Amino acid sequence: MSDPIDVAAETPGDGLPPLREVIATHGLDARRSLGQNFLFDLNLTGRIARAGGEIDQGTVIEIGPGPGGLTRALLGAGARRVIAIERDSRCRGVLAEIAAVWPGRLETIEGDALDIDVAALGEAPRRVIANLPYNVATPLLIGWLRHASAFERFVLMFQKEVVDRLAARPGTKDYGRLSVITQWLCEVRPLFDVNPRAFTPPPKVVSTVVRIDPRPQPLAPARMETLERVTAAAFGQRRKMLRASLKALGDAEGLCAAAGLDPTARAETIPVEGFAALARAVDAAGSV
Ligand SMILES: C[S@@+](CC[C@H](N)C(=O)[O-])C[C@H]1O[C@@H](n2cnc3c(N)ncnc32)[C@H](O)[C@@H]1O
């Protein structure tokens, strides 16, 4: 026997039909190629919206509204202005219906979020709140981090495995390039896990909602481009000592000495500040 559907838990009180009905009416069968795993649970969409903080100010940017479950939660929770970027043109009608219920508060951009300068959308403070399409989630985040100071907060759903890497501490197996670059620019707080059964269709893996708050200043001075090169070299050969893995960058022992790092250490034990020092050493050596 299938689970009884809790209609109350699927009707947000905005006068619009429940999400399952919306999907049937608009023929929005989920497409794997677009990373479509829809959320119907209002408790979950409400929790994600509230984690955004003061969304009654500035702009909320949602990537991939799909049939609009999270969009409706954001508007219902008082978002002043939501700009939603959706690639799937089948969602145009349903998003227009939501916009009509909240006049002047929802704008939809039809397109690929990877091609859009999200850091320039709407008025600050900008908060990106999204149940991300997993096939492009990490490249999207890395792109936004290049303009981290344009954003107040990110509340994002990723595969749990990605959040584990974003939040990993030195000395753990998940610690790597993504941990260093993200934590250099932002404070990362995993919020809660979401069971695959909460989605339609269920993905193969557990998901996690994470809050990522850009720091007023990066954790230590460095150029992001150089930090990316340094972490690529160091973690590209994570089992090797720095004196071997950093050879591609020049005099590896000299760079470690300038950065105050032990050349026999391995990348996974070096804290974020250590990589920033290494990036400064690379830039200083290059400018001599
Ligand atoms: C995981 S679903 C989330 C749907 C809805 N927000 C929810 O929570 O139920 C991801 C959404 O992102 C959209 N999408 C996929 N790739 C995209 C891209 N490159 N740019 C914008 N939207 C995209 C999909 O069409 C889908 O609606």
For a ligand 1 pocket test, name from 22, 31, 85, 87 the mutation site with the most ligand atoms within 8 angstroms of its C-beta. Answer: 87
Residue 5 near ligand 1, beta carbon < 6 Å: no
> Residue 85 domain-assigned?
yes
> Residue 37 domain-assigned?
yes
Cα distances from 68 to residues 37, 42, 220, in angstroms, run: 12, 12, 39
Query: Is 135 labelled a binding residue?
Result: no
For a ligand 1 pocket test, name from 63, 90, 155 the mutation site with the most ligand atoms within 8 angstroms of its C-beta. Answer: 63
> Residue 7 domain-assigned?
no
Find the CATH number of the domain harbouring 239: 1.10.8.100
- The per-residue pLDDT for range 77-121, each reduced to its tens digit, is 999 999 999 999 999 999 999 999 999 999 999 999 999 999 999
- The per-residue pLDDT for range 52-85, each reduced to its tens digit, is 999 999 999 999 999 999 999 999 999 999 999 9
Give exposure, 65-96, as e/b (b: 16+ Cβ within 10 Å).
Answer: bbbbbbbbbbbbbebbbbbbbbbbeebeebbe
The pLDDT of 136-150, averaged and rounded, is 97
User: CA torsion sign, 88 to 149 to 56 to 9?
Assistant: positive
- Of 180, 214, 248, the one marking the end of a domain is 214
Residue 35 near ligand 1, beta carbon < 6 Å: yes
Nearest-angstrom CA–CA distance, 118 and 127: 10
> Residue 261 domain-assigned?
yes
Give me the percent of the chain exceeding a pLDDT of 90: 93
Same domain, 252 and 129: no
- Mean pLDDT over each residue of the chain, to the nearest integer: 94
- The per-residue pLDDT for range 250-276, each reduced to its tens digit, is 999 999 999 999 999 999 999 999 999
E-assigned strands of 91-185?
106-110, 126-131, 153-159
Atom of ligand 1 nearest to the CA of 114: 19
> Residue 263 domain-assigned?
yes
Confidence at residue 2, expressed as pLDDT on a 0 to 100 scale: 40
Same domain, 262 and 125: no
Residue 127 near ligand 1, beta carbon < 6 Å: no
Query: Is 37 labelled a binding residue?
Result: yes
CA of 104 from ligand 1 middle (Å) equals 22
> Residue 230 domain-assigned?
yes
Confidence at residue 287, expressed as pLDDT on a 0 to 100 scale: 56
Find the CATH number of the domain harbouring 101: 3.40.50.150
Same domain, 272 and 147: no
Query: Is 64 labelled a binding residue?
Result: yes
- The per-residue pLDDT for range 192-234, each reduced to its tens digit, is 999 999 999 999 999 999 999 999 999 999 999 999 999 999 9
- Of 214, 237, 259, the one marking the end of a domain is 214
Q: Is the pLDDT of residue 11 over 70?
A: no
> Residue 11 domain-assigned?
no
CA of 243 from ligand 1 middle (Å) equals 43
Atom of ligand 1 nearest to the CA of 62: 6
The domain tally of the chain equals 2
Residue 37 near ligand 1, beta carbon < 6 Å: yes
> Residue 146 domain-assigned?
yes
Residue 66 near ligand 1, beta carbon < 6 Å: yes
- Of 162, 181, 214, the one marking the end of a domain is 214
Nearest-angstrom CA–CA distance, 48 and 191: 9
| Structural domain boundaries, residue 269 | 224-285
Least confidently predicted of 4-13, 104-113, 185-194:
4-13
